[in-house]
């Protein structure tokens, strides 16, 4: 048993040294995850944990938008639909049937997948601004439905009294962070696979992708469903943490916020939206010390980043600390003179 464990540890160390620590961007990601997991050992103040839980939930939500819009080019202005559908589904299953959060959250995510199909099928033939406007209509329609049946949805007040994720704020924190990190890694692996390459091809030129034999309809539906799944998990976590599901989970401002987080951090990266959500959520909380100029400072910072870093903050930082090999296209640390794989000259 000891020999098996030591073999796995050696394999993990080799992978860490050969695949992660060779690139500064990957090292930063590992350090960020370690910091999140070790933070409660330094401070377990409920206020700080609450902010980071919300940042983790919104980071997962932003990454799900990037999976759809950043990688396939299917721009969605109504992404709050997935979040709200999962939130209401999880809340109603918990209140009316008594299902625990570990069941209601996956079921809410499945409901969001169905919402992805509902949106994806009629919108497949639309592109650009027409697609964006069509997706914008769906959360508005659902908000109207919420107000029409207040006996079920609670109307403007929503539904409350939902079970917490855990009786301990620290455990809630670890649940939110672990789910965010795990699903963020899953989304990154999806985009780094053959499916991700096809998503890229659809974004760059839909017609050429179809001409090359790719079933773009199937992959667009897959993108909508996957995005809905991950956004649904975020919605389920949110409703069990806040213990209320209301029309605010379907508001257009939430759909636009997720776009800001993603563009700020860097589209088509997965880790960019996560970083953007953490930075901007923490920034908005920090700026509560100056409520009169809070939105002004926020707008100035976002505009400066978009002006001087049009590809996003994380993409700009990565390009400063790493360089791409002209021969094999692999990334290397910026201080290297030759590629770590093919030994091509990097100067």
Q: Give pLDDT tens digits for 225-252.
A: 999 999 999 999 999 999 999 999 999 8
Task: Give the model confidence (pLDDT) of 112-171 as tens digits.
Answer: 999 998 888 888 778 878 888 889 999 999 999 999 999 999 999 999 999 999 989 999
Say if 326 falls within a structural domain.
no
* 151 lies in some domain: yes
Do residues 95 and 163 lie in contact, with contact meaning Cβ atoms separated by under 8 Å?
no
Rg over alpha carbons for the chain, rounded to the nearest Å, is 21
Q: Does a structural domain hold residue 17? A: no
pLDDT of residue 16 exceeding 70, the answer is no
Quick check: 40 and 173 in contact, CB under 8 A? yes
For residue 173, what are the domain limits?
44-294
Find out whether 107 and 174 touch, Cβ atoms under 8 Å: no
Cβ proximity of 274 and 259 under 8 Å = no
Q: Which two tokens stand for residue 191?
A: 């985009």
Name which of 114, 59, 121 is nearest 225 in CA terms.
114
- In this structure, is residue 33 part of a structural domain? no
- In sequence order, what E strands does the chain have? 159-160, 244-245, 322-324, 331-333
Which residue from 76, 89, 186 is spatially nearest to 138, judged by alpha carbons?
A: 76
Beta partners for residue 160, in sequence order = 244
Look up the CATH number of the domain holding residue 199: 1.10.3470
Q: Is 167 helix (H, G, I), strand (E, B) or coil?
A: coil
Residue 95 lies in a domain: yes
Residue 132 in domain: yes
**Which pLDDT band holds residue 15 (cuts at 50, 70, 90)?**
low
Domain count, the chain: 1
Q: What digits encode the pLDDT tens for the residues 79-92? A: 999 999 999 999 99
Does residue 321 belong to any structural domain of this protein?
no
Residue 270 has pLDDT above 90, yes or no: yes
Residue 32 falls inside a structural domain: no
What is the pLDDT at residue 45?
92
Q: 10 Å Cβ neighbour count for 178?
A: 14
Confidence at residue 20, expressed as pLDDT on a 0 to 100 scale? 74
Quote the tokens at residue 148: 């029409």
pLDDT at 257 over 90: yes
The predicted structure's pLDDT at residue 1 = 65
Cα separation, 312 vs 275, whole angstroms = 10
User: Quick one: pLDDT at residue 166?
Assistant: 92
Top-confidence residue, 13 or 318: 318
């Amino acid at each position: 048993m000891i020999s098996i464990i030591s073999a796995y540890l050696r394999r993990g160390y080799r992978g860490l040294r050969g695949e992660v620590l060779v690139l500064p961007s990957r090292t930063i990601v590992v350090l960020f995850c370690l910091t999140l997991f070790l933070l409660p050992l330094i401070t377990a103040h409920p206020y700080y944990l609450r902010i980071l839980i919300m940042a983790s939930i919104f980071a997962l939500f932003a990454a799900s938008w990037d999976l759809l819009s950043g990688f396939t080019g299917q721009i969605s202005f109504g992404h709050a639909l997935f979040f709200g559908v999962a939130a209401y589904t999880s809340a109603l299953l918990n209140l009316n049937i008594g299902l625990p959060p570990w069941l209601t959250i996956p079921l809410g995510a499945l409901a969001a997948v169905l919402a992805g199909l509902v949106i994806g099928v009629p919108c497949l033939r639309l592109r650009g601004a027409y697609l964006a406007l069509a997706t914008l209509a769906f959360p508005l329609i659902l908000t109207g439905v919420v107000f029409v049946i207040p006996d079920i949805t609670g109307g403007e007040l929503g539904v409350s009294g939902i079970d917490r994720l855990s009786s301990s704020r620290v455990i809630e924190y670890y649940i939110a962070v672990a789910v965010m990190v795990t699903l963020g890694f899953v989304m990154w692996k999806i985009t780094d696979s053959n499916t991700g390459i096809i998503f890229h091809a659809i974004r760059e030129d839909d017609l050429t992708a179809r001409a090359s034999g790719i079933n773009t309809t199937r992959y667009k539906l897959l993108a909508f469903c996957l995005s809905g799944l991950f956004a649904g998990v975020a919605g389920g976590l949110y409703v069990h943490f806040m213990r209320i599901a209301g029309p605010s989970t379907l508001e257009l401002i939430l759909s636009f916020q997720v776009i800001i987080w993603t563009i700020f951090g860097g589209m088509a990266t997965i880790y960019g939206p996560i970083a953007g959500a953490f930075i901007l959520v923490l920034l908005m909380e920090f700026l509560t010390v100056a409520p009169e100029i809070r939105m002004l400072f926020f707008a100035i910072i976002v505009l400066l980043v978009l002006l001087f870093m049009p590809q996003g903050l994380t993409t700009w930082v990565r390009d400063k600390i790493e360089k791409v090999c002209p021969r094999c296209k692999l990334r290397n640390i910026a201080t290297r003179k030759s590629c770590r794989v093919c030994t091509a000259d990097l100067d």
